[in-house]
Chains A and B, each alone.
Chain A
Amino acid sequence: GAVVSQHPSRVICKSGTSVKIECRSLDFQATTMFWYRQFPKQSLMLMATSNEGSKATYEQGVEKDKFLINHASLTLSTLTVTSAHPEDSSFYICSAPQGGVYNSPLHFGNGTRLTVT
């Protein structure tokens, strides 16, 4: 079945540094990629939607300059957390609808647990 590969699974970084998270669709073309953040015991919260070849759409309250999203190809979307702070520590997970259709099944990456010290 369709797979989304997300790396790294776990990262610890120092405050002020940047971290890049990659999501690749392995056997389908992901024209759209959703990026979520999840705090402990909380719901998944949509941060932004990336579309191949165009600018990402950010949700209200999500800083575009802090969470840089690039979707340069049909199989790769990246999220870069710039100038990370301890409050950015969270679980980040991507998902892509197969076929790029909003009402198609979703395929999730395994997530990235970010800890900023």
Chain B
Amino acid sequence: KNEVEQSPQNLTAQEGEFITINCSYSVGISALHWLQQHPGGGIVSLFMLSSGKKKHGRLIATINIQEKHSSLHITASHPRDSAVYICAVRSHYTGANSKLTFGKGITLSVRP
């Protein structure tokens, strides 16, 4: 079992829809990152969180440490949101042992 599982694997939505992308992990973590990878490959960091909820524009990220689960929500989705959304977790260990483990990512396609 992968340490980081993302669901659904592929997601298609209509413009304007509310979208939820999920991430579950199996290890104790110090932080969780949500990343956006564009078709060309470039990656943008969307959120880094260790508890609660963060909001930036139309994006909201939540994390439940007890349940080892995080969600990324996109409100009023737009075709430009089409990308791969990757969840990554950093383990509790510090220093050289503190590595990021990445999920495989969810491919989101928003239709106009």
Contact A108 B44 (CB under 8 A): yes
Chain B interface, number of residues (Cβ within 8 angstroms): 26
Return A11 CB to nearest CB of chain B, in Å: 13
Chain A interface, number of residues (Cβ within 8 angstroms): 25
B112 sits at the interface (CB 8 A): no
Return B10 CB to nearest CB of chain A, in Å: 11
Return A28 CB to nearest CB of chain B, in Å: 14
The tally of CB-CB contacts under 8 A between chains A and B is 57
Complex partner residue of A95 from B43, B48, B94, B104, CB under 8 angstroms: B43
Segment at the B interface, from A41-49, A72-80, A81-89: A41-49
Return B80 CB to nearest CB of chain A, in Å: 17
Contact A44 B48 (CB under 8 A): no
Contacts of A42 in B (CB 8 A): 104
Contacts of B96 in A (CB 8 A): 49, 57
Query: A-side interface residues toward B, CB under 8 Å?
Result: 9, 34, 38, 41-46, 49, 57, 91, 93, 95, 102-111, 113
